[in-house]
Structure 1
Amino acid sequence: MLTKVQQDHLTVKSDLKLQSQVQQWFEKFSQQHLTQNGWSDSQLYRLNLALAEGFTNAVRHAHLALPPETDIEIRLSLWVDRLEIRIWDYGQPFNPDNIPEPKPGTLQDHGYGWFLIRRVADHVIYERDSDHRNCLLIVKYLLESQH
């Protein structure tokens, strides 16, 4: 059985101005725990981008009709073989599979964030928890062949 190596947690208000704080928190976690465990700069850059997209989607879409004081909770869980990023929001649930992926050479006004997250991650789940929050789970394996 694999055990959790490290984990960290951040709660921020629903404000796009806090995105740099979220990304700096992730970069600090990366420097302390991921780079020394074999994660490449390229993997860390893509994961930080996925985190930024997930946070931005929570603020812009899930919390659109909610006050900016509404919390967004983020948890990083580093396992021996993978990193899990969880982002919880209080918005209305929806099915991200219903968002069409952008076709090459076409423009659309939304959906690029989900497209990017799905491309960066090895596994993505978006579901409603029993506490009436939505949880976006982004999983990335250390070694590409493990997914």
Structure 2
Amino acid sequence: MLSIMKQDHLRVKSDLKLLNQVQQWFENFCLQHLSQLGWSESQLYRLNLALAEGFTNAVRHAHHALPPETTIEIDVSLWIDRLEIRIWDHGKPFNPDAIVEPEPGTLQVGGYGWFLLRRLADSVAYERGPDGRNCLLIVKYGQKGQQ
């Protein structure tokens, strides 16, 4: 059974102004742990973009009716073969599979974030946890896994 090599946790208020802090925290984790494992800059850039999309979606959509003091928690777990990002929010759950993917060349208001996430990561899931929070799970496999 594979075990977690490294992990970190961040808790921030639901505020878009904190996006730079969130991304810097993630970049520091990547510099410390992923670079020496052969992860490419392109992979790290895509993961940082996925993190930014997940965080902003939590602030804008999940927490739009909640006080700004409502926290968002982020867990990063590095395994031998993959990196997992979990973004926990307190909003109402939604079914991302109910979002219709826009046809190429058409305009649509909203809904692009979910499809962007699925293209940036190898696996994306959004589920309600037993504690009443929602968890966005973003998984990217390393050199030995998928690119």
Q: Normalising TM by the smaller chain, what interval?
A: over 0.9
Runs (4 or more) in structure 1 with deviation over 2 Å come to 143-147
> Residue 137 of structure 1 aligns with which residue?
137
Could you list the runs of 5+ residues in structure 1 that have no partner in the other structure? none
Quick check: 2:81–2:145 contact (8 Å CA) kept in 1? no
Distance 2:91 2:142 in 1: 31
> Residue 101 of structure 1 aligns with which residue?
101
Alignment of 1:22-41 (within 5 A): 22-41=22-41
Could you list the runs of 5+ residues in structure 2 that have no partner in the other structure? none
Deviation per CA, 1:18-49: give whole Å up to 9, x if none: 00000000100010001111110000000000
Identity in percent: 75
Distance 1:144 1:18 in 2: 33
> Residue 62 of structure 1 aligns with which residue?
62
Distance 2:68 2:35 in 1: 34
Distance 1:24 1:7 in 2: 16
The alignment's TM-score, normalised by the length of structure 1, stands at 0.96
> Residue 84 of structure 2 aligns with which residue?
84
> Residue 121 of structure 2 aligns with which residue?
121
Deviation per CA, 1:89-144: give whole Å up to 9, x if none: 00000001111122211111111111110011111110000000000000110037
Quick check: 1:89–1:134 contact (8 Å CA) kept in 2? yes
SS of alignment partner, residue 115 of structure 1:
helix
The number of residue pairs the alignment matches comes to: 147
- Cα deviation, residue 145, structure 1: 4.8
Distance 2:145 2:38 in 1: 15
Quick check: 2:38–2:143 contact (8 Å CA) kept in 1? no
Deviation per CA, 1:40-71: give whole Å up to 9, x if none: 00000000000000000000000000000000
Distance 1:135 1:143 in 2: 26
Distance 2:3 2:121 in 1: 21
Query: What CA RMSD, in Å, does the superposition of the two structures yield over aligned residues?
Result: 1.2
